[in-house]
Amino acid sequence: MTRPKHFRAAVSRTFNLPPHAGQMVVNETNTQDRPAPPRSTDAVPKDAAAVILIRADADDIAAPQVYWAQRSERMAFLGGFYAFPGGQRDAEDAETRVENCRDAETAAMISCAARELFEETGVLVAHGADSLTKGQLDSLLDDLTSERMTFPQMLAHYGLNLDARDFTFAGRWVTPPFSPRRFDTWFFLVHCPRKQEPRIRTTEFAHGEWTNARAAYARWTRSEVLVAPPVLHAVKTLADGLTDDLVERFLSVPQAHAQPVRRIEFLPGFICFPVRTPTKPPATHTNAYIGGTSELVIIDPGSPYEEEQMALAACVDELISEGRNVREIVLTHHHPDHVAGTNALKAQLGARVPVAAHRLTAEMIADTIRVERLIEDGDVIELAGEPPLSLRAMHTPGHTRGHLSFYEARTGALICGDNIVGLGSVLIDPPEGNMRAYLATLARYKTLLPDIKVLFGGHGPAVGNAAAKIDEYIAHRLEREANILRAIQAGASTPSEIVAQVYTDVPPKLHTMAERAVAAHLQKLIEDNLIAHTNDGRYVVNDVNAAAS
């Protein structure tokens, strides 16, 4: 393949990197003793590869065009985010012959990258592919996706060869442990063959497009697109031009060497910093958020563990060293996994930085944390900077009575605490939890649609498909309620009997927690006059409704 001279000079080397370091998980709650996190139970990252596909831009000789695609909003993981073609390594990737490659692992990952690029876009980066017509390439792709041939069989059958010199290593990024789906992804910089044009061939993506790297980065700075950290880093690196030190710039951050990503900036002015906490499964971390570009608020510093508190403190110190100023610490609600690091952070920042929360939250934590400013529904936190942020507080009870959410209208970002999370569902646990209030909160979120562009929950990744996620949460609760009512009509009369019939998708070890969730539904059904609680502690269908049915 022929590449421009400046491209060859910039991407002529391939690097090997050390394996990533594991992290620890927590299950202790004693904030006074600051327990050390026990052994990790994080999801093990799966090997994957992605292709940063570029071509020259006739209108910009410095910055290239890059091909990216928006993930379908139906995707559970980072739906609505922009990403590069790529995917998980297959067993046959180790069987693919790669010329000019010095080790088997790199060869397998190059094969994975080439295969995924071909499967998802129809672009085949292989020696000999230039002689194939579009129809022949389509036929090859059909052979591969219909599993008539494996990728190495397809290459061998048609006399095609992969060459490591066409795949320049551009970093190895590991998904943070706060996600239930984790990948150890090798990124490769690849020049698109001149005779081929990428076109999305998978339902994982809604659409794909060529875009100038500078334009792509500018769209992110205007909060017009959502991207994960490795994609943002790649786009920004390319936006700075195809200079001779391009590869060095790709590898200039620790995260590109498989180090854990801690500071995650999904949008300008919204930094997510997951900290390990004694939270409920499947979560292992709580998301602390740092809002603002010059003036900052820190939301939910929830870890009781000293090493996690120190990591968050180091991030805050770095921001302060950049000339930013922390205005206050804000708490969405009182649960320990959202507040346990508050006193440690305040000690670092000093008395000038107050703690703010809703009045009901302040009452719940009064014995351990002093709340100096009360936030009520409709209050606005104006944060100076470029761009400025305006966080409107919403009193959103349901998970707890004093729960707050924060909506930023310009960006469409909603910090929603534990009302919506990026993995699993939310426990509504009476008496603090109230199902009627929770459904009302979800309905209130819906009134902000379609303006909500991203949900920043208390656990797990950000959610880019806000409307679908809110509807999913509402439908899930109403389906549970209907099934609980049917179980009672069928004779189940205690929470344990109801759980056995309704929560068949929940492991037995979590049935006690499920019974607490059932209690919230039972409370609402009683308020709706659909069931009654008898003197002997049983739940039965209300006589009036039974007669009517």
Angle at the Cα of 259 (from 85 to 318), degrees rounded to 5?
110
Rounded-to-integer distance, Cα 160 and Cα 544, Å:
75
Last residue of a domain, one of 222, 256, 290: 256
DSSP letters spanning 200-213: --STTEEEEEEEEH
The answer on 375 and 236 residing in a single domain is: no
The answer on 235 and 295 residing in a single domain is: no
Confidence of residue 104 (pLDDT cuts 50, 70, 90): very high
The answer on 277 and 252 residing in a single domain is: no
Please report the beta strands in 198-269, taking only residues with DSSP state E, as ranges in sequence order. Answer: 205-212, 264-267
Contact yes or no for 378/390 (Cβ under 8 A):
no
The answer on 499 and 429 residing in a single domain is: no
Task: Give tens-digit pLDDT for 485-519.
Answer: 999 999 999 999 999 999 998 889 889 999 999 99
Supply 227's token pair: 């991207």
Confidence of residue 546 (pLDDT cuts 50, 70, 90): low
Last residue of a domain, one of 437, 464, 491: 464
CA-to-CA separations, 280 to 293, 424, 439, in angstroms, rounded: 32, 10, 21
Task: Give tens-digit pLDDT for 309-364.
Answer: 999 999 999 999 999 999 999 999 999 999 999 999 999 999 899 999 999 999 99
Confidence of residue 4 (pLDDT cuts 50, 70, 90): very low
Task: Give tens-digit pLDDT for 209-254.
Answer: 999 999 999 999 999 999 999 999 999 999 999 999 999 999 999 9
The answer on 232 and 111 residing in a single domain is: yes
Average pLDDT in the chain: 90
Residue 475 lies in a domain: no
| Helix extents (H) in 423-541 | 435-447, 466-489, 495-502, 511-527
Question: Does residue 31 surpass a pLDDT of 90?
Answer: no
Residue 471 lies in a domain: no
Q: What is the pLDDT of residue 1?
A: 41
Confidence of residue 37 (pLDDT cuts 50, 70, 90): low
Question: What's the domain range around 273?
Answer: 264-464
Q: What is the pLDDT of residue 181?
A: 84
Q: What is the mean pLDDT of residues 436-452?
A: 98
**In which region does residue 323 sit, left (phi positive, over 0), alpha (psi from -120 to 50) or beta (all else)?**
left
DSSP 3-state percent helix, strand, coil across the chain (nearest 5)? 35, 25, 45
CA-to-CA separations, 49 to 88, 95, 227, 234, 314, in angstroms, rounded: 7, 16, 17, 14, 31
The answer on 346 and 220 residing in a single domain is: no
Question: Does residue 2 surpass a pLDDT of 80?
Answer: no
What residues contact residue 81 under an 8 Å CB cut-off, 6+ apart? 70, 71, 226, 227, 228, 231, 464
Query: Any idea what the CATH number is for the domain that residue 517 is in?
Result: 1.10.10.10
Task: Give tens-digit pLDDT for 373-400.
Answer: 999 999 999 999 999 999 999 999 999 9
When mean pLDDT is compared across 41-50, 470-479, 490-499, 540-549, the lowest value belongs to 540-549
Strand partners, 46: 183
Residue 469 lies in a domain: no
Give the count of domains, the chain. 3
Global pTM value: 0.88
DSSP letters spanning 408-442: ETTTTEEEEETTS-SSS-----TTT--HHHHHHHH
Residue 421 lies in a domain: yes
Question: Does residue 16 surpass a pLDDT of 70?
Answer: no
6 membership: H or E segment, kind and range: helix 5-10
Rounded-to-integer distance, Cα 54 and Cα 189, Å:
7
The answer on 282 and 235 residing in a single domain is: no
CA-to-CA separations, 331 to 165, 207, 290, 292, 431, in angstroms, rounded: 51, 38, 12, 16, 20
Task: Give tens-digit pLDDT for 51-78.
Answer: 999 999 888 888 999 999 999 988 888 8
Instruction: Please name the residue that has the structure tokens 């990503």.
Output: 261
The answer on 275 and 247 residing in a single domain is: no
Residue 372 lies in a domain: yes
Residue 474 lies in a domain: no
The answer on 116 and 99 residing in a single domain is: yes
The answer on 12 and 79 residing in a single domain is: yes
Confidence of residue 545 (pLDDT cuts 50, 70, 90): low
The answer on 137 and 194 residing in a single domain is: yes
Q: What is the mean pLDDT of residues 140-154?
A: 92
Q: What does the chain come to in residues?
A: 549
Question: Does residue 111 surpass a pLDDT of 50?
Answer: yes
The answer on 431 and 312 residing in a single domain is: yes
Rounded-to-integer distance, Cα 230 and Cα 210, Å:
18
Last residue of a domain, one of 433, 464, 495: 464
Q: What is the mean pLDDT of residues 418-426?
A: 93
Q: What is the pLDDT of residue 23?
A: 26
Amino acid identity for residue 149 in this structure? M
Query: Any idea what the CATH number is for the domain that residue 86 is in?
Result: 3.90.79.10
Q: What is the pLDDT of residue 406?
A: 99
Q: What percent of the chain has pLDDT over 70?
A: 91
What residues contact residue 326 under an 8 Å CB cut-off, 6+ apart? 296, 297, 298, 316, 319, 320, 349, 353
Secondary structure of residue 394 in the 3-state scheme: strand
DSSP letters spanning 315-362: HHHHHHHTT-EEEEEE-S---HHHHTTHHHHHHHH-TTS-EEE-HHHH
Task: Give tens-digit pLDDT for 179-200.
Answer: 878 999 999 999 999 999 999 9
Q: What is the mean pLDDT of residues 393-409?
A: 99
277, exposed or middle or buried, with CB in 10 Å at 0-12, 13-18, 19+?
Answer: buried
Residue 470 lies in a domain: no
Supply 219's token pair: 């769209």
If one compares 154 and 6, the residue with the highest pLDDT of the two is 154
Q: What is the pLDDT of residue 35?
A: 57
